[in-house]
Amino acid sequence: MQRDIFEPEHDALRASFRSWLDHEVVPNRDTYERDGIVPRELFAQAGQHGFLGMAIPEEYGGGGVEDFRYNLVIAEEVQAAGTGGAGLGLTLHNDICTPYFLAYCNEEQRERWLPGIASGELITAIAMTEPAIGSDLASMSTTAIRDGDHYIVNGSKTFITNGINADLVITAVKTDPSQKHRGMSLLVLERGMHGFERGRNLNKLGLHSQDTAELFFSDVHVPVANLLGDEGTGFTQLVHNLPQERLSIAAAGIAAARAAMGWTLDYIKERKAFDQAIGSFQNTRFVMAEIATEVEIGQAFIDKCVVALNEHTLTAEEASMAKWWCTELQKKVVDRCLQLHGGYGYMMEYEIAKAYADARITTIYGGTTEIMKEIIGRSLGLR
């Protein structure tokens, strides 16, 4: 399907970013997988090439262009190169964390943080989930009690992407523990703060090159100057930014499905059974026809949502539709493609096996499929 969403400048970024992936990331992918983390220098390299902070104003070292199509290009190429784990840290930094700094930082904070975010010298993360609450953010127990010009933070977070590498962690806290949603605020905790400890790099089913950690806070003194926006507005801030986060995950899901389809097409054209290519069997053609059709349908909706995001008209319901449908499709496509690889699909040296393990989390993080359906259902007046 011909896509008319991109301009020549997006195509130029695609070529440049894919070249960088091929030269700097793909050759080291197995090392990153074994280590369970990418080196911090990878972010700095990405920053030097202009692959970070595209939406950050030029006066702070960014690209100065608020256009999510650039983010879409990066998400698609990360998946096409089979570097979803290594690339997740970059897309989280660009797509999910940077918007909070752009929307809610005051001038002093912008001068302090944005240049490092754009250069990759300051790696970002966002910490919402706690061990016992899952999607029920209003029930969080991490507290930030004001004491003069500091907040005293106590609690813990888990499943934090970039949790080991991060220098700046946007942390959801209760500044008023007596309240639920209205008691939430966002504080930026920084590497090196006394009492801020990182737990183990969690051993996950997939996305092995992505560091995912537990974070622990014991009487961490965080300056009031690190508060994002106003006290008590944290839940509203999260809700405002979640559509872009969910669209980012959805876009990566469709890109991963497309990549799996491409690897499988190559395999079934070469692999033979009963003296003929696997791809020549009617069942195989039908399976691939179904996959190709569903991927194109999903891609059309993603492109529509990206345009809406750029025009500031993307709704929470549309983002939820994209997130649940595209990530569930990703799981289904990768599973069916693995089946067509036969026994080789179960071998980790094949891209499809890694993609199968990586895909399982996508219907969970950023809001589960069930939560997405709840949001959509309520928008229909069903309560």
The pLDDT > 90 percentage for the chain reads 92
pLDDT in tens, 72-108: 999 999 999 999 999 999 999 999 999 999 999 999 9
Number of neighbours of residue 343 by Cβ within 10 angstroms: 6
Measuring CA to CA, which residue among 355, 322, 364 is closest to residue 336? 355
Number of residues written out for the chain: 383
- With a cut of 90, say whether residue 139 has pLDDT above it: no
CATH superfamily of 125-231: Butyryl-CoA Dehydrogenase, subunit A, domain 2 (2.40.110.10)
**Stronger pLDDT, 179 or 154, i.e. the higher one:** 154
Start-end ranges of CATH 1.20.140.10 in the chain?
Answer: 235-379
Reading the block at residue 85, the tokens are 């784990």
Start-end ranges of CATH 1.10.540.10 in the chain?
Answer: 8-122
Helix axes of 234-270 and 282-310: crossing angle, nearest 10 degrees: 150
- With a cut of 70, say whether residue 16 has pLDDT above it: yes
Measuring CA to CA, which residue among 112, 120, 115, 134 is closest to residue 166? 120
The mean per-residue pLDDT over the stretch 65-75 comes to: 97
pLDDT in tens, 294-328: 999 999 999 999 999 999 999 999 999 999 999 99
Tell me the Ramachandran region of residue 161: left when phi exceeds 0, alpha when psi lies from -120 to 50, beta otherwise. Answer: beta
Measuring CA to CA, which residue among 259, 280, 261 is closest to residue 269? 280
Fold for domain 235-379? Butyryl-CoA Dehydrogenase, subunit A; domain 3 (1.20.140)
Going by CATH, does the domain composed of 8-122 fall within 3.40.50.300?
no
Start-end ranges of CATH 2.40.110.10 in the chain?
Answer: 125-231
- With a cut of 90, say whether residue 273 has pLDDT above it: no
Torsion angle (degrees, nearest 10) of CA 248, 253, 259, 262 = -130
Angle at 167 between CA 161 and CA 171, to 5 degrees: 60
pLDDT in tens, 342-365: 999 999 999 999 999 999 999 999
pLDDT at 272: 79
The pLDDT > 70 percentage for the chain reads 99
Alpha-carbon span 296 to 273, nearest angstrom: 29
CB 138 within 8 A of CB 184: yes
- With a cut of 90, say whether residue 2 has pLDDT above it: no
Alpha-carbon span 55 to 199, nearest angstrom: 32
- With a cut of 90, say whether residue 132 has pLDDT above it: no
pLDDT at 1: 67
What is the CA 121 to chain-centroid distance, rounded? Answer: 19
Measuring CA to CA, which residue among 216, 170, 174 is closest to residue 190? 170
- With a cut of 70, say whether residue 25 has pLDDT above it: yes
Look up tokens 């797509």; give the residue. Answer: 95
- With a cut of 90, say whether residue 134 has pLDDT above it: no
- With a cut of 80, say whether residue 136 has pLDDT above it: no
Which residue is catalytic, options 130, 245, 294, 318?
245
What is the overall mean pLDDT for the chain?
A: 96
Told to judge if 245 belongs to the known catalytic residues of this protein, a careful annotator would answer yes
Alpha-carbon span 291 to 334, nearest angstrom: 10
The mean per-residue pLDDT over the stretch 176-191 comes to: 94
